[in-house]
Amino acid sequence: MADISSNLIQFPHDELDRFFKAMQRAQTDLKRSQESALKWAARTLVGSLAAATAVAKKKRPVRKIRKRTFSVESWKHGYRHTFERHGSNVAEVRQLPEIRISHSGFAKVVWRYMGATFGGSNSASARARAFAARYGSVQIRFGGDNPTIILENRSGYAVDALKGGEGAVASAIGKAATRLEKSIERRIEKNLEKAAS
C-alpha cells in the first residue's frame, strides 16, 4: 500500500480509494510488480499535487491602516500573520526587504523534488532544491509483503499553496487517479494491438 502523509493535508478517502484501485490495476492488467506500480502511482500523485500548487507572488500584500502605517500579510506554518511597517505610501513600503517573499514558488518545488525520486523532472535552483530537501522527504520500503512509499511534505503552507486550499486535495488526487486509469487503458490497447499484429 502507499502511506501518504503530511503535517497538514488530510486526503479524502473516496478519491484515495479510486487512486489505489488504479494502482492495483497496473499490477493485475499490466503485470507490473507491486514496487513498479507503487512508484508509478507515487510519481503521478506528486505530479498532480505540484500542478495544483500555486506560485506565490514575489511580494507580500500591503494595505494602509492609518496615516503612514501599513499592514503587511505573511504566512508562517500554515497560519496568516500580519505585521506593521511605516512609510509615506504603499509603493515605499513595498520596497522594504521584509516585503519580499523569499520562498516564492518553493511549495511547488517540494512536490517536484519528491517526484524526481521516481524519475520526474526538477529544474529548480540550487537554493530551491535545498529547501525542498529540507521540507520534503520520500521513504521507500520495499521487501516483504507490504512495500511502502511514504511521501511527507513538511512545508507549513502545503495546503495554503494549493489552488483552492483543502478542496484542491481531492481534485489533485482525483486527477492523479484519472491519469493513471487513462495511462493503463492506453497501454492495454497497445498490448492488444501488438498481440494481434
Structure confidence by residue, pLDDT tens digits, 28-68: 999 988 888 888 888 888 888 888 777 667 788 898 999 99
Q: How many residues does the chain have?
A: 197
Tell me the range of 28-42, 76-90, 122-136 where mean pLDDT is highest: 28-42
Position 117 pLDDT exceeds 60? yes
Integer Cα distance of 94 and 33 in angstroms: 54
Angle between helices 13-28 and 34-51 (to 10 degrees): 140
For residues 16-21, average pLDDT:
85
In this prediction, residue 104 has a pLDDT band, given cuts at 50, 70 and 90, of low
Q: 2 in helix, strand or coil?
A: coil
